[in-house]
Amino acid sequence: MARIDLEQLQKNFGEHTAVQGLDLMIEDGELLVLLGPSGCGKTTTLNCIAGLETPSSGRILFDGEDVTAKPPHQRNIAMVFQSSLLYPHMTARKNIGASLAKQGLDEQAIADRIAEAAATVDITDLLDKLPSQLSGGERQRVATAKAIVRQPRAFLLDEPLAALDAALRLTLRSELVNLQKRLATTMVFVTHDQVEAMTMGDRIAVMNDGRLEQIGSPDEIYNHPTTLFVASFVGSPPMNFVAARDIVDLPDTDGGAWRNLASRENGMGVTLGVRPQHLRISAEPNGGMPTTVFALEHLGRESVLIMEDDRKKKLRALVEPGFKARVGDRLFALPDPKHCLLFDENGNAMAKPATDGG
């Protein structure tokens, strides 16, 4: 168990900068999710923490101790790789025990530890099978057992669930969180799946282009994104964005107060963001944006209405499951001013102006 600090972590691959001056503090016992699109540097960051990559500059501290120059196994971390990588020619038992031989434990102690770890993730029956004889979910469990058996200071997981089917991912996701909470071991979990990040993380660190965009609880990330990137990356269906210059010249009608949000800030580069659940849809002019229905997706508990504004930009709204609309219908989409977010030209969140609307 350890608190992990990254100080000005930088990693270059030739000309390319994968991680750029990253400062990150991971609390002891927390589950931190590194979230970002592919190529954003999240896996490189994880590999640096693990010791698989040597940072170009910066420091990595475990409980205040500088481990930047230490090889992976001396850091005593456990890592689960993409697709739950295992040694293909070894049984589950040998796979799980592989790291223990280096810890100077005797055979009995190793056998006990393996049995205990296997029992924790419920794979005692599978110990004598080869990875090729296991299903994807079982392999994942073996990889997890391999991680917990060494009683590491931290778990590092690199998209371990990415290759599994959706139903299994759902199950294993909660199992991993449950396990992490029971063991109270620091865990860093890398994913590009924002749903996984939202559901699993105590905190989420959103990365983009080798930089940290925002770090915070799932609630903060979702409701108070500090950048346009975070706002657009997190949430499903994604947030709607409207450029200020596209709405100021809409005909002035009743209920159009929301438009002041954008125009008041006088910058035409301002972007207004609103989540799909905060758009009110009406067939009558309601002060909102005039749109044309593009598609209606039924999700059961709700439906996603996809519309196009007059500039062919897509807008998404969550509507009641019974909502009826035909492709080509004219509808008006009115954002709830209370829930609108504003971003400046550089994509940074702006202090929300007080509004009289809503």
Partner 1 sequence: MTGDKATVWSRLALLVVLLWTLLPIYWFLKNAFLTPDEIARFPPPLYPLEPTPAAFFNIFGIDYTLVDGTVRRGSGQANQIIRGLINSAIVSAVVTAVTLLVVLPLAYVFARLDFAHKNKLLFAILLAVALPPVSTLIPFYAMYIQLGLAGTLTGLIIVTLTITIPFVTWMLIGFFRNLPPVERLALIDGFSRFETFRKIILPLGKSGVAVAAVIAFLFAWNEYTYALVLVNGTTANTLPTAISGFLFQHPEPSHLAASLALTILPPALVAFFLQRHIADMNLVDPVR
Interface with partner 1 (CB under 8 A):
50-52, 71-73, 77-79, 81, 85-89, 98-99, 102-103
Q: Report the C-alpha dihedral over residues 146, 152, 157, 160, rounded to 10 degrees.
A: 20
Question: What are the contacts of 264-270 at 24+ separation with CB within 8 A?
Answer: 264/353, 265/342, 265/344, 265/350, 265/353, 267/344, 267/345, 268/244, 269/244, 269/245, 269/344, 269/345, 270/243, 270/244, 270/342, 270/343, 270/344, 270/345, 270/350
Question: What are the contacts of 117-121 at 24+ separation with CB within 8 A?
Answer: 117/145, 117/146, 117/148, 117/149, 118/92, 118/93, 118/145, 120/145, 120/148, 120/179, 121/145, 121/148, 121/175, 121/179
Closest approach, Cβ 103 to partner 1, in A, equals 8
Closest approach, Cβ 96 to partner 1, in A, equals 11
Q: Which is nearer to partner 1, 79 or 212 (CB)?
A: 79
Q: Which is nearer to partner 1, 185 or 226 (CB)?
A: 185
Burial of 174 per CB tally in 10 Å (0-12, 13-18, 19+): exposed
Q: Which is nearer to partner 1, 88 or 300 (CB)?
A: 88
How far apart are the two ends of the chain, measured CA to CA in Å?
Answer: 48
Closest approach, Cβ 134 to partner 1, in A, equals 14
With left for phi above 0 and alpha for psi between -120 and 50, is residue 76 left, alpha or beta?
A: left
Q: Which is nearer to partner 1, 149 or 204 (CB)?
A: 149
Question: Bridge partners of 13?
Answer: 16
Q: Which is nearer to partner 1, 98 or 179 (CB)?
A: 98
Burial of 95 per CB tally in 10 Å (0-12, 13-18, 19+): buried
Closest approach, Cβ 120 to partner 1, in A, equals 19
Closest approach, Cβ 55 to partner 1, in A, equals 16
Closest approach, Cβ 46 to partner 1, in A, equals 11
Closest approach, Cβ 175 to partner 1, in A, equals 22
Question: Bridge partners of 240?
Answer: 274
Q: Which is nearer to partner 1, 47 or 226 (CB)?
A: 47
Q: Which is nearer to partner 1, 187 or 341 (CB)?
A: 187
d(Cα 348, Cα 229) in Å, to the nearest integer? 9
Closest approach, Cβ 74 to partner 1, in A, equals 8
Q: Which is nearer to partner 1, 83 or 355 (CB)?
A: 83
Using DSSP's 3-state secondary structure scheme, residue 18 falls into strand
